[in-house]
Amino acid sequence: MNKEFCPECNNMLYPKEDKTEKQLYMACRNCEHVEEAMSNKVVENVFHREFTEEIDQETAKDMTMDPTLFIASVKCDRCGYGYAVYFEPKGNNPDLELKICYICKKCYNIWM
């Protein structure tokens, strides 16, 4: 995936999904700059992750460090922290389809 940079301040842009509009944006975390992502291919590549329910703490931790994953402002049940990365799990378990998986950025708690 090509990294995109903010035309205003040259920081890296991060994908951000507008759930109500079902539109993906690239947003700068340094300034207010937001632009539309070029294609749905980005959604496909970025939003889906191979996932098994036995995901270990190390893997979960790595995923929270992944700069291409979306960040939601949701509250973690375990530690109360306000941000978690989220993605659509993709695996061979049909029960997981259409679910959204969250991982707390602080304690790596995983929930759906």
Question: What x-and-dash track marks residues 29-68 binding Zn ion by CB under 5 A?
Answer: -xx-x-----------------------------------
Residues 6+ apart with CB under 8 A from 94: none
CB closer to Zn ion out of 25 and 81:
81
> Judged by CB under 5 A, does residue 9 bind Zn ion?
yes
For 4, counting Cβ atoms within 10 Å of its Cβ (0-12 exposed, 13-18 middle, 19+ buried), the class is middle
> Judged by CB under 5 A, does residue 26 bind Zn ion?
no
Triad 89, 3, 31: Cα angle to 5°:
95
Q: Terminus-to-terminus CA distance in the chain, angstroms?
A: 27
**Structure tokens belonging to residue 45:** 């590549």
> Judged by CB under 5 A, does residue 78 bind Zn ion?
yes
Size of site (CB under 5 A) for Zn ion: 16
Write out the residues near Zn ion by the rule CB under 5 A.
Answer: 6, 8-9, 11, 28, 30-31, 33, 76, 78-79, 81, 104, 106-107, 109
